[in-house]
């Protein structure tokens, strides 16, 4: 700070600028007190704040700007608690400041207000509202005074042709212009952020009615100097460009923030009428003022689509005396709608539509030159640019809103323009004439509003009689029309009926063969829309597939820009996903992916698209997916590497999951990737659902070989997840644990005993008030029941482990309870929360409990037998479709080894499916009777006669 303000260093601007930059960059790092750093002391901060406020008149603009940003950063942290005097000092200084000082103070004010306006806490917004009330009146009066000074100065300048005359006066006037510009931005900030939006409160924002007409008047006063200053006063010409554009932007921002106040009779009609006049009938000089016209169109667009200005079609309670907020909104909307109707009578709407199409949609000479020089850039600039950044996209956006509001009026108008353009320029014309450019504009107009225009135009007739004929002319100049034909074919996809699909597909393939890259990219994107469409006809497209692949691969090679490659990759990806048999093209696709991956090094977004396309390829290949392992496995290795970009991880895991799910067998390389999953889940559980599917795939596909090789990793994974994720995460991983127990009933439980202990804790201590927790408890209980059925001794041993007792004690579970009997209570309670197989598992587990030499079993005998009876008599009516259809599927078509096929086979051979619960309950009841003697008979005697009758029916006992 001392270097910046030192008088003896005033001439050494570079040293002072560097000091100011270092000071600014250190604020975020050192100004806040942090635990690991003492930072700057409060005394030092106070000294620096005072020093900054005493050095407001900085001569050098760059240093002044840096200091303004610096003060705003400190204010964000310190105002108002540590720096309450900031705005009062600035307000005091600004009263007596000269032009340069006031300019610098307004620079500080703007930067500080902009910074504080982004704070969203209620207290911060209240502080900002107080600042607004403090500064608005002064800023507004100065704005008006400066505007008058500027206009007087410009009036004098207009009579001077020598730009060197009175240079000092010019510099002072320019400084006032800059101050006025800063003042305008401050007023915008104060109105937009200093008052709550009237959209909800309906409270009139007074400054809107005062400021907006004056802003409009300022624009109207400055514009006449636009053309005359271009040659003789370039500095002030640039200011007029900047000022008029900014003033219109401020009007747009105010309308969006305070639509009801802006809708007042003294604001909206004036602004809207001015904008419409400038769009439809601009002065010759204004026609090249693109940024200003864009703001005029933006204003017209947001007003036409503003929902607050739409009539509200709701009723009102009869004889209701109180005018509700909704009724007030309805009244205002009705009044504004009336204003807009008077501003936009039918003839003006038609004129605006005609002007937009015939003037603003037409390609200019500079457009055609840009297209010629770089077709790819032109394609993306025209179709991917934000509508508010370029004049033609902005005109298109306004046209779409206008048509939507007046479709019945404009439908015949657009069809008439289209017909006129086609008649004036037949398909045989090759010269770039005004007629050809109008046809291009009319085609664009018809493409953008297909959803409304289809009521007035038959696509089939249009295609057969005009669009298809355009493609027969191969002259280079016809690229203009060909591009729009490609656009139309993509936009009108929902209107293309069955009898026209084949010719349209052929037309798109023809357009993909065009010599112009812009046309080919447009065709590729439209092809994407057709393939992804629900009504896509594989039958009509199948014989076009070979040439389509060839042309798509060629297009990927020919394009250079990143956006182009991503777009074509999207088309390739949907082709793979939707076109059916991919096997004949597998080798070509493998080469394509190999080359594309090598060329995409360092381009993460491009690699994401490649991973998505490759996943679709693997799924499409199915059991023949090893055909692509030469490219798939190396890509998986790089994608799963902990050092690879994080943004690739999600798509790499989805590719991994697809590879496992479609693999006919486990190859050694894939087997070796499994430990990577431990590293991934140790970092984050973000991808747990996909990870669970991958683990399940390894268990089912890898079998005993996998478990023996990666036993420690499997144990670590389940122990890592169970107990450390929420209910949704548990619902992803618990079915996988059940699969492990099915595949390895003897060794599996021992392998994951730590995770199983946590599952017992979940069952016995979980919260039943939350539906997901109930589902988790039921799922975990079903897996524990399966262990009891398939490995009875292990569960009994696990239930008595000291480590489990410690876990239960830590969770607040009563000491001394019999864990196995507590699990019995869970099985009895959750039998209605599970599917049929899990119910049957509960039945088997409960029947085994009957064989225990525990008197408490007899206390639960009635409930146990009731559950077993309901399972036996209930049958398998709620068996999942996957299970019930497995036999019919296997007989209807050949089955190939894959994760899904093995899963079905595993379910068929599941002991729970094969064993007879009826037989087991009958045998275990006899065992229970012999163990407990007369006490058993007493317990049976307590059963309700109806329940006993059902039991006998279930066990076929006479």
The residue among 38 and 833 whose pLDDT is bigger is 833
Mean pLDDT over 538-558 rounds to 91
Report pLDDT for 878. Answer: 44
* φ, ψ of residue 284 in degrees (nearest 5): -50, -40
Report pLDDT for 958. Answer: 57
Report pLDDT for 411. Answer: 94
Report pLDDT for 312. Answer: 66
Q: Which residue has the tokens 């990737």?
A: 673
For 578-627, the pLDDT digits (tens) are 887 888 889 999 999 999 998 888 888 889 999 999 999 999 998 899 99
Q: How confident is the model at residue 478 (pLDDT cuts 50, 70, 90)?
A: very high
**Dist CA 748 CA 715 (whole Å):** 9
Report pLDDT for 405. Answer: 92
For 370-390, the pLDDT digits (tens) are 999 999 988 887 665 577 788
Mean pLDDT of the residues in the chain: 87
Q: How confident is the model at residue 161 (pLDDT cuts 50, 70, 90)?
A: low
For 707-724, the pLDDT digits (tens) are 999 999 999 999 999 989
What proportion of the chain, given as a percentage, has pLDDT over 70? 93
Least confident of 365-379, 487-501, 640-654, 741-755: 640-654
Q: How confident is the model at residue 887 (pLDDT cuts 50, 70, 90)?
A: very low
Q: How confident is the model at residue 814 (pLDDT cuts 50, 70, 90)?
A: confident
- The model's pTM is 0.79
Number of H helices, E strands in the chain: 56, 0
Report pLDDT for 232. Answer: 80
For 328-357, the pLDDT digits (tens) are 777 878 888 888 889 999 999 999 999 999
For 178-214, the pLDDT digits (tens) are 989 999 999 999 999 888 888 877 888 889 999 999 9
Which residues, listed in sequence order, are joined to residue 784 by a DSSP beta bridge?
A: none
Give start and end residues of each alpha helix (H) in 122-165: 122-157
Residue 316 in this model has a pLDDT that exceeds 60: no
Taking alpha carbons only, the member of 687, 686, 692, 690 closest to residue 733 is 692
For 840-886, the pLDDT digits (tens) are 999 999 999 999 888 888 888 899 999 899 988 886 644 443 444 43
For 244-299, the pLDDT digits (tens) are 999 999 999 999 999 999 998 999 999 999 999 999 999 888 888 999 999 999 99
| Contact assessment for residue 247 and residue 185, using Cβ atoms and an 8 Å cutoff | no
For 226-235, the pLDDT digits (tens) are 888 888 888 9
Residue 811 in this model has a pLDDT that exceeds 80: yes
Burial grade of 773 (CB within 10 A; 0-12, 13-18, 19 or more): middle
What proportion of the chain, given as a percentage, has pLDDT over 90? 46
Which residues lie below 8 Å from residue 229, measured CB to CB, with a gap of 6+?
A: 154, 157, 158, 236, 237, 240
Report pLDDT for 34. Answer: 65
Residue 934 in this model has a pLDDT that exceeds 80: yes
Mean pLDDT over 457-467 rounds to 93
Report pLDDT for 642. Answer: 74
For 390-413, the pLDDT digits (tens) are 899 899 999 999 999 999 999 999
Residue 311 in this model has a pLDDT that exceeds 80: no
Residue 834 in this model has a pLDDT that exceeds 50: yes
Burial grade of 374 (CB within 10 A; 0-12, 13-18, 19 or more): middle
Reported residue count of the chain is 958
**Dist CA 721 CA 528 (whole Å):** 40
Residue 815 in this model has a pLDDT that exceeds 80: no
Which residues lie below 8 Å from residue 129, measured CB to CB, with a gap of 6+?
A: 194, 195
For 490-544, the pLDDT digits (tens) are 999 999 988 899 999 999 999 999 999 999 999 999 999 999 998 999 889 989 9
What Rg, from alpha-carbon coordinates, does the chain have?
38
Residue 569: HSE in the Cβ half-sphere, 13 Å Cα cutoff: 24
Residue 222: Cβ within 10 Å count: 21
Which residues, listed in sequence order, are joined to residue 34 by a DSSP beta bridge?
A: 37
3-state secondary structure of 98: coil
Report pLDDT for 876. Answer: 60
| Contact assessment for residue 91 and residue 135, using Cβ atoms and an 8 Å cutoff | yes
**Dist CA 225 CA 223 (whole Å):** 5
Mean pLDDT over 801-817 rounds to 85
Residue 47: Cβ within 10 Å count: 13
Least confident of 15-19, 302-306, 368-372: 15-19
Least confident of 5-14, 49-58, 551-560: 5-14
């Amino acid at each position: 700070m001392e270097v910046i303000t030192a008088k003896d260093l005033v001439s050494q601007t570079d040293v002072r600028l560097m000091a100011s930059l270092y000071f600014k960059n250190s604020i975020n790092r050192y100004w806040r007190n942090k635990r690991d750093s003492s930072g700057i002391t409060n005394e030092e901060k106070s000294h620096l704040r005072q020093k900054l406020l005493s050095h407001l008149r900085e001569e050098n603009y760059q240093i002044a700007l840096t200091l303004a940003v610096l003060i705003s950063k400190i204010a964000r942290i310190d105002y108002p608690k540590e720096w309450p005097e900031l705005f009062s000092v600035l307000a005091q200084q600004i009263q007596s400041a000269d032009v340069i000082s006031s300019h610098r103070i307004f620079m500080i004010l703007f930067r500080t207000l902009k910074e504080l306006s982004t704070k969203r806490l209620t207290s911060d917004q209240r502080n900002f509202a107080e600042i607004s009330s403090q500064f608005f009146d002064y800023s507004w009066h100065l704005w008006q005074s400066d505007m008058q000074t500027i206009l007087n100065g410009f009036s004098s300048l207009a009579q001077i042709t020598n730009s060197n005359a009175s240079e000092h006066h010019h510099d002072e006037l320019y400084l006032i212009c800059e101050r006025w510009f800063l003042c305008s931005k401050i007023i915008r900030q104060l109105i937009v952020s200093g008052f709550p939006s009237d959209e909800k409160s309906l409270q009139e924002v007074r400054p809107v009615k005062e400021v907006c007409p004056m802003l409009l008047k300022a624009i109207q006063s400055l514009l006449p100097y636009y053309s005359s200053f271009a040659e003789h006063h370039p500095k002030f010409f640039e200011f007029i460009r900047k000022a008029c554009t900014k003033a219109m932007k401020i009007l747009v921002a105010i309308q969006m923030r305070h639509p009801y106040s802006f809708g007042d009779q003294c604001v909206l009609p004036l602004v809207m009428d001015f904008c419409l006049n400038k769009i439809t009938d601009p002065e010759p000089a204004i026609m090249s003022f693109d940024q200003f016209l864009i703001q005029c169109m933006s204003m017209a667009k947001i007003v036409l689509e503003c929902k607050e200005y739409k009539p509200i079609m709701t009723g009102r309670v009869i004889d209701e005396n109180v005018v509700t907020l909704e009724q007030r909104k309805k009244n205002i909307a009705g009044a504004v709608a009336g204003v807009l109707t008077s501003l936009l009578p039918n003839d003006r709407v038609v004129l605006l539509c005609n002007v937009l199409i015939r003037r603003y949609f037409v390609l200019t000479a500079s457009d055609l030159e840009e297209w010629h020089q770089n077709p790819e850039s032109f394609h993306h600039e025209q179709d991917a640019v934000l509508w508010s950044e370029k004049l033609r996209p902005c005109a298109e956006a306004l046209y779409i809103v206008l048509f939507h509001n007046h479709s019945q009026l404009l439908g015949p108008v657009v069809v008439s323009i289209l017909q006129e353009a086609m008649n004036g320029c037949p398909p045989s014309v090759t010269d770039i004439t005004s007629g050809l450019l109008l046809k291009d504009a009319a085609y664009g107009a018809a493409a953008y509003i297909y959803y409304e225009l289809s009521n007035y135009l038959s696509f089939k007739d249009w295609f057969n009689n005009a669009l298809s004929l355009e493609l027969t002319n191969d002259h280079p100049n016809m690229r203009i029309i060909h591009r729009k034909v490609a656009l139309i074919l993509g936009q009108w996809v929902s209107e293309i009926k069955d009898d026209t699909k084949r010719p349209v597909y052929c037309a798109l393939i023809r357009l993909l063969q065009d010599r112009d890259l812009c046309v080919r990219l447009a065709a590729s994107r439209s092809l994407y829309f057709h393939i992804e469409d629900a009504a896509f006809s594989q039958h009509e497209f199948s014989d076009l597939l070979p040439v389509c692949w060839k042309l798509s691969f060629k297009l990927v090679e020919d394009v250079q820009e990143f956006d182009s490659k991503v777009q074509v990759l999207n088309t390739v990806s949907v082709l793979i996903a939707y076109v059916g048999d991919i096997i004949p093209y597998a080798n070509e696709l493998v080469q394509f992916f190999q080359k594309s991956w090598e060329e995409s090094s360092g381009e993460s977004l491009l690699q994401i698209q490649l991973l998505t396309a490759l996943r679709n390829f693997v799924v499409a290949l199915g059991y023949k997916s090893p055909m692509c392992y030469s490219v798939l496995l190396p890509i998986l290795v790089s994608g799963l590497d902990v050092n690879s970009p994080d943004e690739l991880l999600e798509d790499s895991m989805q590719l991994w999951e697809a590879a496992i799910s479609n693999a006919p067998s486990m190859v050694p390389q894939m087997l070796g990737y499994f430990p990577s999953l431990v590293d991934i889940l140790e970092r984050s559980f973000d991808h747990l659902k996909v990870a669970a599917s991958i683990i399940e795939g390894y268990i089912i596909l890898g079998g005993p070989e996998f478990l023996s090789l990666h036993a420690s990793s499997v144990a670590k994974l389940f122990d890592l997840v169970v107990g450390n994720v929420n209910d949704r995460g548990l619902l992803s991983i618990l079915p996988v644990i059940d699969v492990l127990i099915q595949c390895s009933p003897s060794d599996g439980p021992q392998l994951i005993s730590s995770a199983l202990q946590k599952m017992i804790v979940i069952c016995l201590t979980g919260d039943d008030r939350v539906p997901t927790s109930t589902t988790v408890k039921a799922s975990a209980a079903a897996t524990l029941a399966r262990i009891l059925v398939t490995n009875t001794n292990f569960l009994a041993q696990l239930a008595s482990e000291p480590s489990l007792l410690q876990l239960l004690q830590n969770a607040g579970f009563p000491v001394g309870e019999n864990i196995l009997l507590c699990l019995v209570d869970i099985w009895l309670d959750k039998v209605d929360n599970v599917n049929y197989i899990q119910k049957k598992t509960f039945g088997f587990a409960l029947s085994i409990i009957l064989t225990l030499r525990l008197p408490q079993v007899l206390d639960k005998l009635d409930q146990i037998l009731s559950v077993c009876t309901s399972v036996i008599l209930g049958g398998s009516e709620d068996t999942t479709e996957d299970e019930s259809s497995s036999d019919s599927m296997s007989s209807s078509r050949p089955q190939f080894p894959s994760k899904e096929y093995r899963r079905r086979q595993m379910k068929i051979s599941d002991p729970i499916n094969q064993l007879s619960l009826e037989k087991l309950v009958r045998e275990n009841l006899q065992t229970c009777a012999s163990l407990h003697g007369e006490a058993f008979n007493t317990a049976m005697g307590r059963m309700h006669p109806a329940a006993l009758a059902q039991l006998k029916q279930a066990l076929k006992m006479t």
